[in-house]
A = this chain, B = another copy of it.
Amino acid sequence: MVKITDVARHAGVSPSTVSYTLSGKRPISAETRARVEASIRELGYRPHAGARALASNKSNVLAMVVPLRAGINVPVVMQFAVSVMTTAREYDHDVLVLTQEEGEKGLRRVADTALVDALIVMDVQLHDPRLPLLRALDRPSVLIGFPADPAGLTCIDLDFKAAGELCVEHLAGLGHRVIGLIGSPPEVYVRQTAFAQRVVQGFTAAAARHGMSSTVHPCEATPAAARTVAERLLREQPALTGVVIHNEAILEPLIDAFEHLGLRVPTDLSLTALCPDDQAETLPVPVTSIAIPSREVGEQAVQLLMSKLDNTPVPSATLLRPSLTARASTAPRAV
C-alpha cells in the first residue's frame, strides 16, 4: 500500500505538503502542487479512509435510513435515496444505509462510533420514536418529513398540506363540488406517517372551505384494491366528479377502474394526483399532478447537512412549495 510518506518522498516534499495539496487548506505553489499531483498519479496513491477519519475526526460518510416497510412506495423512496447519494458524492461524502428495523440502536451505533459524520432520516412519523435520540446525538441530522414537534430538529419536505389544498382548489376552480381523496395504504395512516396525514388535512380543510362534499379513502397498492375503492367511491358519492390520488403505485389501475365503471376521464371525472412527474406524463391519459420533488428534497437535505457540518446556521424548517401541472385528466365539470 502506498502511503502519504511515499508520495512525499517521491515528490521531494514533506507529508504535510501532500496533505495540504489534497485538502487545499493552505496555499501551495503551482510547481510543488504539480509535482505532488504527478507523484500521486504515478504511485496511484489513495489516502486511507480510516487514518483520515482518525486524524481529522471526519469520516466523510453520511448515514441514511431507508424506510422499506409495508405500505411505502419503494420506487419513490429510492428516488430520494439516489438523490441523496448523488448529492453526497458532490460533496465528497459516501452514504451508509441503515434499515428502518435497525431503529434507534442503529442510529446510535453509527453516530457514536464516529462511523458517520451526520444522518439523514426519511419516513418520519408524527410522533417518531427516534426524535429524542436525534435531538440528543452529537452529530447533525436532517429529517425528510415533518414530525408533530420539529423543535430542535432540521426538517425538509414538500409542503404536503399545501399540496392537498392545491389539488382541491384546482378542482374547485373547475367547478367540481363532490370530490374524493384516494390515499396511501391504511398502514401508512395507522403509523401516522407525517406526509400522508398532512395531505388529508389539506384536502379536507380546503374542501370544507369551498363548501365541497368530500371523503377520504386509504387504499392498498394493488389493482384489485383500486377497483374496490373506485366502486365504493361511486356508491357513496354518486355525484362524484373530482378525485385526488395520493398513491403512486395504483394510478393507472385506478384510472382503468373508473373507466370500466363507465366514467370517462376527464369528461365525467377529473383526476389529479400527487406523484413523480415522469409517471404523470407517461400515463395513457397524462394526469394533472403535483410533483413529488424527490430530486430537490434529497439534494437540499444533503446541503443542509453540509451546512450543519460547517457550523453554518440553517433554517430549522424547509417546506417546498407544491406546484401543480395541469394535464389532460382534469376539465371543467360537465353541466
Contact = CB atoms under 8 A, between A and B. Distances in A.
Q: How would you classify the secondary structure of chain A's contact residues: helix, strand, loop or mixed?
A: helix
B74 A99 contact: no
Contacts of A52: 50
Contacts of A113: 46-49
Interface stretch (A30-38, A88-96, A171-179, A201-209): A88-96
A314 B137 CA distance: 41
Contacts of A94: 96, 98, 110, 115
A54 B50 contact: yes
Interface string A190-226: 0000000000000000000000000000000011100
Contacts of A51: 50, 54
Nearest to A109: B46
Interface string A110-149: 1011110000000000000000000000000000000000
A223 B255 CA distance: 11
A291 interface: no
A75 interface: yes
Given A96-B61, A224-B284, A50 B82 contact: no
A78 interface: yes
Contacts of A44: 112
Given A50-B52, A74-B75, A282-B222, A99 B85 contact: yes
Contacts of A85: 97-99
Interface size band for A: 35 or more
A22 to B, nearest CB: 12
B253 A223 contact: yes
Contacts of A282: 222
A74 B294 CA distance: 16
A21 interface: no
A299 interface: no
Nearest to A69: B82
A213 to B, nearest CB: 30
A78 B69 CA distance: 11
A114 B50 contact: yes
Contacts of A114: 48-50
A151 interface: no
A328 interface: no
Contacts of A78: 68, 74, 78
21 contacts: A46-B109, A48-B113, A48-B114, A49-B115, A50-B50, A50-B54, A51-B54, A53-B53, A53-B54, A61-B96, A68-B82, A74-B75, A86-B99, A94-B96, A94-B115, A95-B97, A97-B97, A223-B252, A223-B256, A224-B252, A252-B253
Given A46-B109, A86-B101, A252-B253, 13 more contacts: A48-B54, A53-B54, A54-B54, A61-B96, A68-B78, A86-B99, A94-B115, A95-B97, A96-B96, A97-B97, A224-B252, A224-B284, A256-B256
Interface of A: 44, 46-54, 59, 61, 68, 74-75, 78, 81-82, 85-86, 89, 94-99, 101-102, 109-110, 112-115, 222-224, 252-253, 256, 282, 284
